[in-house]
Amino acid sequence: MKFLYKTLFLLVSIAFIFSCAKTGRPDGGPKDEDAPLFVVSKPPYKTINFKSKEVELTFNEFIKLKDLNKQLVVSPPLKNPLLVTPQGTASKFLKIKILDTLALNTTYIFNFGNAIEDNNESNKLEGFKYIFSTGTYIDSLKTSGTVIDAFFNKKPKKTNIVLYRIDSTFTDSIIYNKKPNYVTTALDTTKFEFTNLKEGKYLLLALEERSSDYIFNPKVDKIGFYADTITLPKDSVITKPIKLFKEIQPYRFNRAKEVSKGKIQFGYEGEIKNLKVELLSKVTDSFKSASRFEMDKDTLNYWYTPIAVDSLNFVVSNDIFLDTVTVKFRKNKLDSLKLSPSTSGTLHLRDTFFIKSNNPIVKIDTSKIIFVNKDTLRVKYSNYISIKENKIGFLFDKNQKENYNLKAFPGGFTDIYNIKNDSINYNFKTVELEDYGRITLNVINTTSKNIIIDLLSGKENKEIIERKYVNTSETLVFNLLEPKTYTIRAIVDDNNNRIWDTGNYLLKKLPETIIYYKEELKVRANYFLEGNTFTIKKSD
């Protein structure tokens, strides 16, 4: 009996201990919405003459770390990252080991961002910093500002903002090989702030980096810079936003390779202005060739009629560089001809019907093409070949709410290899005028500059629906628009070349200004959006 009582007592005791040890709020109790609080640290917060290699932080409750590698920013940067423990388990304490030798007379900031949160409800201790100085005082100056993407109307991804002290050792090229004096970050916002800065003159940069090493790599990183020198304490607020942009790299030829019989790819990097590929080898009069840039792949495709040689020699050049290239042939198979329609559903009244091809088309036999409407009546059309885009355009008077059929029998299209198409049969239709909407836009141009107005849609507004050019104030009409959401942007075309020009850090050239209309425009069927005024100001 005593054994039974002892056993029951032991079980009840264990259950009681576990119920007391269980963390979390009681069922039905109020939700904890309070962030954890920093209590004390060793060495103390804002210690001067700091000499320790380890810091211990104490909080008022159990905390955990989230996205520490992304959130933690050390300023000035250290060569070796801090060792922060524990990670992966809850604790009231954090230990920080410093693996570097600290600079003399320097104020350091360990900015944890939003990495610290309580264990139960994940309430964040926002913007927590541990600050100390290896000198006799804590630097106290501040500066703040905003950063935006120069081209896209969206918040930049994680952006590092850096300051380089301008002294006797400073050069513009320092950003390519030396870490900055101060860093901060704009994680999920466009705003940034530096604290605990020294008095002096600085270069201010924003970097959207692939590696987050605070060193600018122009091949992969975006950069933004403040055109004027930052002088502290005077420039405590930077009023103009820092605009992030991707530089165009200097031209560099990579290599040429045969990808299939009769097709060579020339790879390059950077600026392709006036890039030319010229054949050096002697060929017969029957030799044909065509070329096309693939901008998203930094590639020039070169098609040619196969000839009985084992290699061809080329000169690849632009205004500055010239390379001689020999391409040896090993492939035995030509790419077969593949055709596809630009649409197999609705052809919108503002669009052109295209047949896309993987190989350049050199001949069209209209006697083998039949183009009819739903009543099988022949449709009058003209066509053209776009070598630049490897497609054939069909121009005709489109009727609303009509069905069309286009057939091409074998031999209707012939490519550069003298390969002819198989039979193709495409059906598409149009809809009524009432299925479209319209946008009227009053552009007030106060800049005395030429302005490019783009009507945008699609994912991240990357699709240009229509582009117009204005040099004064003007009313623009965008007609026959599909019911969807549109965005409008204005590009201030400083050099009047009808494209947007990016910036260049070393040349101290800022990107051309882009201004987005204040709101998205939702177009409905049979509806006219009027009274929209877009003012392009000089200050923009």
DSSP codes, 389-406: TTEEEEE--PPTT-EEEE
Name the token pair of 152.
Answer: 């896209």
Across 59-73, 180-194, 503-517, least confident range = 180-194
Query: Is residue 11 included in any domain, yes or no?
Result: no
| Tens of pLDDT, residues 510-537 | 999 999 999 999 999 999 999 999 999 8
Q: Taking 70 as the threshold, does the pLDDT of residue 77 lie above it?
A: yes
Helices (H), 47-133: 68-71
Instruction: Give the whole-angstrom CA distance, residue 415 versus residue 363.
Output: 7
Show the domain range for 424: 339-431
Number of domains in the chain: 5
Statement to judge: residues 162 and 215 lie in one domain: yes
Residue 84: give its domain's CATH number: 2.60.40.1220
pLDDT at position 27 is: 55
- Whole-number percent of the chain with pLDDT over 90: 80
Instruction: Give the whole-angstrom CA distance, residue 184 versus residue 235.
Output: 17
Across 155-159, 229-233, 467-471, least confident range = 155-159
Instruction: State mean pLDDT over 201-209.
Output: 97
Residue 285: give its domain's CATH number: 2.60.40.10
Statement to judge: residues 306 and 374 lie in one domain: no
Of the candidates 87, 107, 105, the residue with the CA atom closest to the CA atom of residue 95:
87
Instruction: Give the whole-angstrom CA distance, residue 453 versus residue 466.
Output: 8
Statement to judge: residues 386 and 310 lie in one domain: no
Element spanning 12, H or E: helix 2-21
Peptide bond into 43 cis (omega under 30): yes
Statement to judge: residues 98 and 164 lie in one domain: no
Q: Taking 60 as the threshold, does the pLDDT of residue 28 lie above it?
A: no
Query: Is residue 12 included in any domain, yes or no?
Result: no
pLDDT at position 31 is: 74
Statement to judge: residues 153 and 237 lie in one domain: yes
Query: Is residue 372 included in any domain, yes or no?
Result: yes
Instruction: Give the whole-angstrom CA distance, residue 66 versus residue 272.
Output: 44
How buried is 68 (Cβ within 10 angstroms: 0-12 exposed, 13-18 middle, 19+ buried)? middle
Q: Secondary structure of the chain: what % helix, strand, coil (to 5)? A: 10, 45, 45
Torsion of CA 40, 46, 48, 52, to 10 degrees: 50
Query: Is residue 6 included in any domain, yes or no?
Result: no
Statement to judge: residues 129 and 176 lie in one domain: no
Statement to judge: residues 314 and 392 lie in one domain: no
Dihedrals phi, psi of 534, to nearest 5 degrees: -120, 105
Statement to judge: residues 61 and 118 lie in one domain: yes
Q: Taking 80 as the threshold, does the pLDDT of residue 299 lie above it?
A: yes
Query: In whole angstroms, how far apart are CA 268 and each of 16, 246, 249, 401?
Result: 72, 17, 11, 47
Q: How confident is the model at residue 539 (pLDDT cuts 50, 70, 90)?
A: low
Instruction: State mean pLDDT over 470-474.
Output: 95
Query: Is residue 498 included in any domain, yes or no?
Result: yes
pLDDT at position 4 is: 42
Statement to judge: residues 395 and 448 lie in one domain: no
Q: Taking 50 as the threshold, does the pLDDT of residue 112 lie above it?
A: yes
Query: Is residue 14 included in any domain, yes or no?
Result: no
Query: In whole angstroms, how far apart are CA 170 and each of 183, 325, 410, 445, 504?
Result: 17, 41, 69, 41, 19
Q: Taking 90 as the threshold, does the pLDDT of residue 387 lie above it?
A: no
Query: Is residue 13 included in any domain, yes or no?
Result: no
Which of 413, 431, 449 delimits the end of a domain?
431
Q: Taking 60 as the threshold, does the pLDDT of residue 6 lie above it?
A: no
| Tens of pLDDT, residues 127-153 | 899 999 999 999 999 999 999 999 998
Q: Taking 80 as the threshold, does the pLDDT of residue 12 lie above it?
A: no
Tell me which DSSP letter residue 472 carries: S
Q: How far is CA 173 from the centre of its chain?
A: 25
Instruction: State mean pLDDT over 281-296.
Output: 90
The residue with tokens 């388990």 is 89
Mean pLDDT of the chain: 92
Q: Taking 60 as the threshold, does the pLDDT of residue 3 lie above it?
A: no
Q: Taking 70 as the threshold, does the pLDDT of residue 104 lie above it?
A: yes
Q: How confident is the model at residue 158 (pLDDT cuts 50, 70, 90)?
A: confident
Q: Taking 60 as the threshold, does the pLDDT of residue 106 lie above it?
A: yes
Q: Taking 80 as the threshold, does the pLDDT of residue 538 lie above it?
A: no
Statement to judge: residues 315 and 357 lie in one domain: no
Q: How confident is the model at residue 194 (pLDDT cuts 50, 70, 90)?
A: very high
pTM for this model (two decimals) = 0.84
Contact 275, 266 (CB under 8 A): no
Q: Give the SS3 label for residue 54.
A: strand
Instruction: Give the whole-angstrom CA distance, residue 90 versus residue 61.
Output: 9
Instruction: Give the whole-angstrom CA distance, residue 77 versus residue 487.
Output: 40
Dihedrals phi, psi of 445, to nearest 5 degrees: -100, 110
How buried is 494 (Cβ within 10 angstroms: 0-12 exposed, 13-18 middle, 19+ buried)? middle
Residue 151: give its domain's CATH number: 2.60.40
**Biggest CA pair distance of the chain:** 113
Query: Is residue 399 included in any domain, yes or no?
Result: yes
Instruction: Give the whole-angstrom CA distance, residue 325 versus residue 315.
Output: 6
Q: How confident is the model at residue 212 (pLDDT cuts 50, 70, 90)?
A: confident
Instruction: Give the whole-angstrom CA distance, residue 448 versus residue 380.
Output: 45
Q: Taking 90 as the threshold, does the pLDDT of residue 247 lie above it?
A: yes
First to last CA, the chain: 90
Statement to judge: residues 460 and 407 lie in one domain: no
Of the candidates 328, 292, 294, 298, the residue with the CA atom closest to the CA atom of residue 310:
328
Q: Taking 50 as the threshold, does the pLDDT of residue 17 lie above it?
A: no
Looking only at the bridges linking them, the beta strands covering 528-536 and 437-445 are: parallel
Number of Cβ within a 10 Å radius of residue 387: 14
pLDDT at position 140 is: 96
Contact 98, 82 (CB under 8 A): yes
Instruction: State mean pLDDT over 484-510.
Output: 96
Which of 407, 431, 455 delimits the end of a domain?
431
Tell me which DSSP letter residue 138 carries: -
Q: Taking 90 as the threshold, does the pLDDT of residue 1 lie above it?
A: no
Statement to judge: residues 186 and 116 lie in one domain: no
Name the token pair of 136.
Answer: 């006799």
pLDDT at position 21 is: 42
Instruction: Give the whole-angstrom CA distance, residue 361 versus residue 25.
Output: 72
Instruction: Give the whole-angstrom CA distance, residue 377 versus residue 205.
Output: 65
Which of 431, 454, 481 delimits the end of a domain?
431
